[in-house]
C-alpha cells in the first residue's frame, strides 16, 4: 500500500483515505434464509416457550466449546447472575471484577447482596490485570469475574493459579469472545463457569439470549434450579417436566426458581442460534483474516498497536467484537487520542472514537445505590468491608480514553477495502505533525 505522508490530512482539507462504499463489510448479524426457516418453523408450531430446540442448541454449543454443560438463558446478564450464584456468591460476599467492562459483568453481585472489588486492567490487553487480583482477595471473596475484553483473552494461567491457591472460583464473561482461544483452550472452559451474551450485536448473535457453560455438574444444577423451574423435575401446567436436577438440596425446591426470576430463552432465539452456530466457525475465520490483514498493514506505524495476542501464542481474538487499537500518543508528539481519532474519522472511518466502556468503579451504583431499601448502600448492607474506590484509584482504566480507540470491525476479508481503512490510520499517524 502507498502511504501518504505529506501535508494531506483530510481534517486539513486533503483527500479522504477511504473512498469506496463498504457495502456489507460491517453488516451484522448475517441472517439468511436458513435462519428465517428455522425461526419460522418454531413460530408456526407455536413452540416459542418450549425447550426441545433449546436443548439441541445447548448440546451443540457445549460440544463446540468442548464443555460438559451448556444452559441457555434469556440473556447474558441472567447467565452471569446464575453463574455467580451457582459459584457461591451470596449476601455479604465479595466479587472481584475488572472495572473496564460492560456493567452486566458484575452488577449481578449487587443483586445477590454482594459487593464488587474492582481491579485495574492491563493497558495492552485491556483485560483484568492478573497482578491486581490477589491483594483484593478477602475472607468473603467468592468469585473472580474475568472478561475477555473486546475479544482479547485474559491471561488465565496466573489468574487460575491465584484462584485455586486462594480457594476462589472464576467466572468467565465470554460476551466479547465466543470461540476464542487462550493457549489453545476455548475461552469459557478454563474457569469454573462462564456466562455470555448472545444478543444481536455480539460476535455470536442469536437475537437475544445468553449461555452458561461449565464442566461442573453441581454448578450446572444450581444454575438450573436458580432460573429454570421446568427443568427441576416438576411439571407446570404448561411445560413437560424433565429432570436435570439431582442434588437433594435443590430437589426440595423443584418447580419454583430459587432466584424468583425466570431465565428461559425464547426458542425463536435458540433456533437462530443453532443456525448461527453452524456458520460461526467460518464467519469467525473470515473476520480473523480480515482483522489480521488490517493490523498487518499497520505493522510498524508509530503511535498505534494492534489489540491482539502475539502470533504463535495459541491465543486468538475470536470474532473481534468491539475491535479496539492501543494508542501510544507519546510516539506522535503527545497528540491526544481524541485528536487522533477525529483526524481518522475525517479520513472516512466513522467508528474511530477514543476509549471503550466507562470505568465502573466510579459509577454511583457501586457507591450509593440501595437496592434492598435498607437505608444504606447495597455494597455495605450485609456486613461487607468497604471496598468502594473513587477516582484516581485504578489508573490504567481511568486513562482508557488515552489508551484505546475504535477500529473497523470487518466481517469480510476484502483486501482493497481493508487497505483503504488501514491507509486512513497510517496517514494520520505518519502525518500527526500536522495536528500539533
Ligand X SMILES: *Cc1c(COP(=O)(O)O)cnc(C)c1O
Contacts with ligand X, residue ranges (CB under 6 A): 75-77, 101-102, 104-105, 147, 173, 175-176, 197, 199, 210
Secondary structure (DSSP) of 310-329: PTTSS---TT-TT-EEEE-G
Cβ-based nearer residue to ligand X, 75 or 384: 75
Strands (E), 161-224: 169-173, 181-182, 185-186, 193-197, 210-214
Secondary structure (DSSP) of 89-122: --TT-EEEEESSS-GGGTHHHHHTT-EEEEE-B-
> Left (φ > 0), alpha (ψ -120 to 50) or beta: where does 373 sit?
left
Cβ-based nearer residue to ligand X, 106 or 422: 106
Cβ-based nearer residue to ligand X, 211 or 418: 211
Q: How far is the CB of 72 from ligand X (least distance, A)?
A: 12
Query: Which residues lie closer than 8 Å to 164 by C-beta, 6 or more apart?
Result: none
Rounded distance between C-alpha atoms, residue 114 and residue 257, angstroms: 20
Cβ-based nearer residue to ligand X, 9 or 96: 96
Is 215 strand, coil or helix? Answer: coil
Residue pointed to by grid coordinates 495476542: 309
Q: How far is the CB of 406 from ligand X (least distance, A)?
A: 15
Closest residue by Cα to residue 180 from 152, 139, 204: 152
Q: How far is the CB of 175 from ligand X (least distance, A)?
A: 3
Q: How far is the CB of 176 from ligand X (least distance, A)?
A: 6
Q: How far is the CB of 173 from ligand X (least distance, A)?
A: 5
Q: How far is the CB of 130 from ligand X (least distance, A)?
A: 18
DSSP H/E element including 145: strand 141-147
Residue nearest to ligand X (CB): 76
308: Cα within 13 Å, side-chain hemisphere: 25
Residue pointed to by grid coordinates 494520520: 428
* Grid cell locating 94: 465479595
Cβ-based nearer residue to ligand X, 212 or 291: 212
Is 101 strand, coil or helix? Answer: coil
The edge-to-edge listing of strands for the beta sheet with 115-119 is: 69-73, 210-214, 193-197, 169-173, 141-147, 94-98, 115-119
Q: How far is the CB of 240 from ligand X (least distance, A)?
A: 27
Cβ-based nearer residue to ligand X, 105 or 214: 105
Rg (CA), the chain: 23
Rounded distance between C-alpha atoms, residue 80 and residue 83, angstroms: 5
DSSP H/E element including 265: none
For CA atoms 210, 216, 220, 222, give the dihedral sign. negative
Cβ-based nearer residue to ligand X, 77 or 244: 77
Q: How far is the CB of 201 from ligand X (least distance, A)?
A: 8
Whole-number Cα distances in Å, 352 to 201, 322, 403: 18, 11, 13
Cβ-based nearer residue to ligand X, 147 or 379: 147
The edge-to-edge listing of strands for the beta sheet with 324-327 is: 304-306, 324-327, 404-406
Q: How far is the CB of 355 from ligand X (least distance, A)?
A: 15
Q: How far is the CB of 68 from ligand X (least distance, A)?
A: 23
Cβ-based nearer residue to ligand X, 57 or 421: 57
Cβ-based nearer residue to ligand X, 169 or 178: 178
Amino acid at each position: 500500500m502507498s502511504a501518504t505522508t505529506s501535508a494531506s490530512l483530510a481534517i486539513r482539507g486533503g483527500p479522504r483515505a477511504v473512498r469506496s462504499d463498504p457495502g456489507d463489510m460491517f453488516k451484522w448479524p448475517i441472517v439468511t434464509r436458513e435462519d428465517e426457516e428455522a425461526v419460522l418453523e418454531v413460530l408456526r408450531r407455536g413452540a416459542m416457550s418450549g425447550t426441545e430446540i433449546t436443548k439441541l442448541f445447548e448440546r451443540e454449543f457445549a460440544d463446540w466449546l468442548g464443555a460438559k454443560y451448556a444452559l441457555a438463558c434469556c440473556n447474558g446478564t441472567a447467565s452471569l447472575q446464575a453463574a455467580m450464584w451457582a459459584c457461591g456468591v451470596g449476601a455479604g460476599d465479595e466479587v472481584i471484577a475488572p472495572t473496564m467492562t460492560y456493567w452486566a459483568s458484575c452488577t449481578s453481585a449487587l443483586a445477590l447482596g454482594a459487593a464488587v472489588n474492582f481491579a485495574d486492567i492491563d493497558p495492552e490487553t485491556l483485560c483484568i490485570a492478573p497482578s491486581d487480583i490477589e491483594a483484593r482477595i478477602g475472607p468473603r471473596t467468592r468469585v473472580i469475574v474475568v472478561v475477555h475484553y473486546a475479544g482479547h483473552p485474559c491471561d488465565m494461567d496466573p489468574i487460575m493459579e491465584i484462584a485455586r491457591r486462594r480457594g476462589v472460583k472464576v467466572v468467565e464473561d465470554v460476551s466479547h469472545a465466543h470461540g476464542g482461544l487462550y493457549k489453545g483452550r476455548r475461552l469459557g472452559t478454563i474457569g469454573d463457569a462462564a456466562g455470555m451474551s448472545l444478543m444481536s450485536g455480539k460476535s455470536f448473535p442469536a437475537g437475544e439470549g445468553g449461555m452458561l457453560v461449565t464442566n461442573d455438574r453441581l454448578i450446572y444444577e444450581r444454575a438450573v434450579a436458580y432460573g429454570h423451574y421446568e427443568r427441576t423435575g416438576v411439571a407446570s401446567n404448561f411445560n413437560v417436566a424433565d429432570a436435570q436436577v439431582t442434588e437433594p438440596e435443590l430437589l426440595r425446591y423443584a418447580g419454583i426458581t430459587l432466584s424468583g426470576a425466570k431465565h428461559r430463552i425464547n426458542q425463536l432465539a435458540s433456533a437462530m442460534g443453532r443456525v448461527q452456530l453452524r456458520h460461526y466457525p467460518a464467519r469467525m475465520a473470515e473476520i480473523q483474516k480480515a482483522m489480521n490483514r488490517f493490523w498487518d498493514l499497520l505493522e510498524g506505524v508509530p503511535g498505534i498497536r494492534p489489540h491482539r495476542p502475539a502470533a504463535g501464542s495459541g491465543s486468538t481474538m475470536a470474532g473481534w467484537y468491539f475491535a479496539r487499537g492501543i494508542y501510544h500518543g507519546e510516539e506522535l508528539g503527545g497528540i491526544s487520542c481524541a485528536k487522533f481519532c477525529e483526524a481518522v474519522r475525517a479520513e472516512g472511518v466513522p467508528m474511530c472514537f477514543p476509549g471503550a466502556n466507562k470505568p465502573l468503579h466510579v459509577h454511583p451504583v457501586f457507591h450509593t445505590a440501595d437496592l434492598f431499601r435498607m437505608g444504606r448502600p447495597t455494597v455495605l448492607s450485609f456486613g461487607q468491608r468497604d471496598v468502594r474506590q473513587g477516582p484516581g484509584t485504578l489508573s490504567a482504566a481511568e486513562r482508557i480514553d488515552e489508551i484505546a480507540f475504535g477500529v473497523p470491525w470487518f466481517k469480510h476479508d476484502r483486501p482493497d477495502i481493508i487497505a483503504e481503512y488501514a491507509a486512513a490510520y497510517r496517514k494520520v499517524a505518519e502525518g500527526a505533525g500536522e495536528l500539533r
